[in-house]
Structure 1
Amino acid sequence: MKDQAASSSGPEAGAAQRLSTREAAERLGVKPETLYAYVSRGQLSSTRAPGGRGSTYDAAEIDALARRTNRKPPSPATGDPVFRTGITLIENDRYYFRGVDATELARHYGCEEVAEWLWTGELRPGIRFTAPAEALAAARRAVDALPAHSGSTDRLRVAVVAAATTDPLRFDLSRESVLAAARGLVPTLVAALPVVPGGQQDAGATGGPPSGTGGLARQLWPKLTALPVDETALSVLDTALALLIDHDLAASTLAARVAASAHAHPYAVVSAGLGVLEGPLHGAASGLAHRMLIEVLERGSAAPVIADHLRTGRRVPGLGHRLYTSEDPRARALFAQLDRVPRAAAALAAARDVVATTARHTPLHANVDLALAVLSVSCSMPAEAGETVFAVSRTAGWIAHALEEYGERPLRIRPSGQYNGPRPPQPLPVAVTDGPPRDRRW
């Protein structure tokens, strides 16, 4: 446990929840125009949002109206897919795990404790996960067989498949069986990664109980950098692992839920998530921010680096997030800790220079990728380190969503395609060959 836990999720824990127009309309299953009609008829009250940016509605009042009118949110088949989930809520530029401020959880507890909380709803201070010996041996053999140039996500994907082959009960989707597999899989992934050349393997890097404190973060440290363990930086890594466990239905999480909907076993669910995570617009985004910070440090200023991005039409990595209007709360939490890491001073100043320089042209705020880049640059980690942290952490989140999805109707995530090809009947296509066409019926 990092610190004494707070008894609530923050000073606003007891405040009435306010919904935006879109959120209120979705909760009632009506269009915004209908919502406005309820207000005009006195059936609902609304309050102008600060800054004149639309109206807000009391969530309890919306729910009461829904009960009176027997309104229900629309089925996913009638619009954009919507999945009810009790895992993560993102609203008002903050995010919550099971209703508790996620940044507060990460400040007080480590990755394994937060993962257990998401999986079970029970907080178990000091819990540590251990890799099963057979699974770890198989994962290491598979990872060691890969070419030297393989990336960390390549290694993690192979490690998941190898670990799955050692678990004959992986098709048992009962809650206890899935939890047991999850508690073994996460440390297996970390322990299967090779130690950075010149690095020192901690006793816990073998997949057993880690020495000292830090749990998974301490096991992961020598897989990311050859530097000796820096306790203040290790605390940042631990916080990052806890913060990144889940972020609602991100692309990789949606893929994981589709797999779980088909009753794929938890290893296959994680494989599905890893396949999507590797995209440059998702888990790999921090690598772009890492390279940008290196260039800023080399050139001594963010201005020429940002100018190059703008000149070539590239977006500036590490800035902006579609779910937040201000700074990403995950970035804010990590920057606060990085401020206490002496070796991070230069990279942190470079990141702030990037934000300030870009703000002259467009008001974009830092996101978690920029914070991960500060950590990786300042601790001499490779550019893909942030992606590795992301993948290890998000594995726990995919398991949480799989547990939730296994309780739903199987194969419910089955959208219908809107066909826009040639209308049938069409003639058989003409084969493209070097010779004259021939009848293939023998």
Structure 2
Amino acid sequence: MGDQESEERRLTTREAARRLGVKPETVYAYVSRGQLSSRRSPGGRGSTFDAAEVEALARRGRRETRTASGNSPIGTSITLIEEDRHYYRGVDSTALAAHHGYEEVAQWLWTGEMRPGTRFTAHPETLTAAGRAVRALPAPSAMLDRLRVAAIAAAAADPLRFDLAQEAVVGTARDLIATLTDVLPVLGEPEPEDAPVARRLWTRLTARAPGEEWLRVLDAALVLLIDHDLAVSTVAARVAASAQAHPYAVVSAGLGALDGPLHGAASGFAHRMLLDAVERGGGAVVAGHLRAGRRVPGLGHVIYPGEDPRAGMLFRLLEEVPEAAEALHAAREVVATMARHVPLHANVDLALAVLSVAAGMPSEAGETVFAVARTAGWIAHALEEYGEQPMRMRPTGQYRGPRPPQSLPVPVQPT
């Protein structure tokens, strides 16, 4: 009886190949490499294999496949960063920012079509739900807190959020970007709901009137910040998309990763440093940071050996704004002083700081611009990821804890 039960738990070559997802010839290759044992079947025709051993090999193969997938480069056709240049789909981002507005570039990245005059407007129900949720937050809530809550509320108000067809995702993205902009409280004169995003966002960041030169700077900043290859927030967004999460959840994942001192909040540190530099001079501020052993914000970038091309363009546009002269001079004084010691160049955070300081915006303004702009990039990556094999980004952890079996934990007695 025991021998009969043992034979019932054995597989033929064809069955083992099917379980492993390989050809029968590969099964025998596993045997020759010692990865699998075989036994001649009764009558001497063919071989049989232990079912548990085959299943263990199959599990190991699946685990190795997931690990390889998780550690392999993520293919993308959105952004290329090469030789201190920054390209969207092969087109220099600074050229795009010089000739097209934020909405036009975002729509082009999503669909491949450049449509002049593209505008994003919020659906009334979405905006109402988001506004109600944001108003329920404590008064001192940060702008990024409001954006995260708005994204969640907007999702709850959209019964079609699980439609991942390209046309539906693009429609959701347009509505969400408009909602994230319009849900912030207005500080200056309100703009029409069909005005460009840059103009509507300006009134949420400062009470000053939006001159055309200022709006060109803000709109260019939005374009230049749409995407920057696989930054940590973009990786978070793609991981969510790989699980077929809806666009609101993808953006929420990106906003969560953005809310850190080493990513989205970096422009706030540059803003405060620049305020100090305007008051005391760039040389004195740099000296103070070096004496305290602190890094000077707004300088250097892990990707660009030279100047961040996004910063270079924004500085050129800021030169055309008379009100920005003082902050721009202080920023360049910081860069020049630091260059005597270390060849660090300005990055986009310093350029955003010049914009926010000169325009009387709060320190979190740069982070807000970053979040609204990058929403378009997260959606572009989500559209790419929806076309990939789901759940492909599943690395395997390297366990470093105690080896099993371990005893049950001893309960702590109350004192």
Given the two structures, how large is their TM-score scaled by the length of structure 1? Answer: 0.78
Which gives a bigger RCO, structure 1 or 2 (Cα 8 Å, sep 6+)?
Answer: 2
Q: Which residue of 2 aligns with 1:106?
A: 97
> 1:78 Cα shift?
7.5
Q: Is the Cα–Cα contact under 8 Å of residues 70 and 393 in structure 2 kept in the other structure?
A: no
Partners of 2:66 and 2:395 within 8 A in 1: no
How many equivalent pairs are there?
A: 351
Is 1:97 the equivalent of 2:88?
yes
Structure 2: stretches of 5+ with no match in the other structure: 1-64
Residues 172, 178 of structure 1: 8 Å contact kept: yes
Q: Deviations over 1:318-369 (max 9, x none)?
A: 0001110100000001001000000000000000000001111110000000
Once the two structures are TM-superposed, the CA of residue 76 in structure 1 deviates from its matched residue by 7.2
Structure 1 residue 269, shift from structure 2 partner: 0.2
2:120 maps to 1:140 = no
Match of 2:154 in 1: 163
Q: Distance in 2 between matches of 1:165 and 1:399?
A: 18
After superposition, the C-alpha distances for 1:49-89 in whole angstroms (9 at most, x for unaligned) are xxxxxxxxxxxxxxxxxxxxxxxxx9971784410001001
Structure 1 position 254 matched with structure 2 position 263: no
Q: Does residue 1:220 correspond to 2:211, yes or no?
A: no
The superposition leaves residues 348-399 of structure 1 with CA deviations (integer Å, 9 ceiling, x where unpaired) of: 0000000001111110000000000000000000000000000000000000
2:274 is aligned, of 293, 313, 320, to: 293
SS in 2 for 1:96: strand
Q: Which has the higher helix share?
A: 2
Question: Helix, strand or coil: the match of 1:90?
Answer: strand
Q: Which residue of 1 aligns with 2:115?
A: 124
Structure 1 stretches of at least 4 aligned residues deviating more than 6 Å after TM superposition: none
Alignment deviations for residues 2-29 of structure 1 (CA, whole Å, 9 cap, x no partner): xxxxxxxxxxxxxxxxxxxxxxxxxxxx
Distance 1:278 1:286 in 2: 12
Contact 1:76–1:82 under 8 Å retained in 2: no
Q: Share of identical aligned residues, percent?
A: 67
Alpha-carbon distance in 1 for matches of 2:190, 2:139: 19
Q: Deviations over 1:295-318 (max 9, x none)?
A: 01111x112211221122211100
Q: Against the structure 1 CA distance between its residues 434 and 253, is the aligned structure 2 distance closer, same or farther, given a 3 Å change threshold?
A: same
Q: How does 1:170-249 map to 2 (within 5 A)?
A: 170-196=161-187, 199-203=188-192, 208-210=193-195, 215-249=196-230
Q: How does 1:15-414 map to 2 (within 5 A)?
A: 77=68, 80-196=71-187, 199-203=188-192, 208-210=193-195, 215-299=196-280, 301-414=281-394
Partner-residue secondary structure (3-state), 2:283 = helix
Change (3 A) 1:259 1:78: closer
Give the TM-score of the pair, scaled to structure 2.
0.83
Q: Distance in 2 between matches of 1:76 and 1:302?
A: 48
Q: Distance in 2 between matches of 1:309 and 1:114?
A: 38
Instruction: Name the SS of the counterpart of 2:86 in structure 1.
Output: strand
Aligned Cα root-mean-square deviation (Å):
1.4
CA distance in 1, matches of 2:235, 2:379: 12
What amino acid is the match of 1:293?
Answer: L
Question: Deviation string for 1:402-432 (max 9, x for gaps)?
Answer: 0000000000000110011111111111111
SS at match of 2:284: helix
Q: Is the 2:242–2:391 Cα contact (8 Å) retained in structure 1? A: yes
In the alignment, is the contact (CA less than 8 A) between 1:190 and 1:220 conserved in 2?
A: yes
Distance 2:296 2:67 in 1: 34
> Where does the alignment leave 5 or more consecutive residues of structure 1 unmatched?
1-73, 436-442
The farther-off stretch of 318-327 and 423-432 is 423-432
Shift of 1:238: 0.5
| Alpha-carbon distance in 1 for matches of 2:179, 2:75 | 31
Q: Contact 1:202/1:218 (CA < 8 Å) preserved in 2?
A: yes
Partner of 1:420: 400
SS in 2 for 1:363: coil
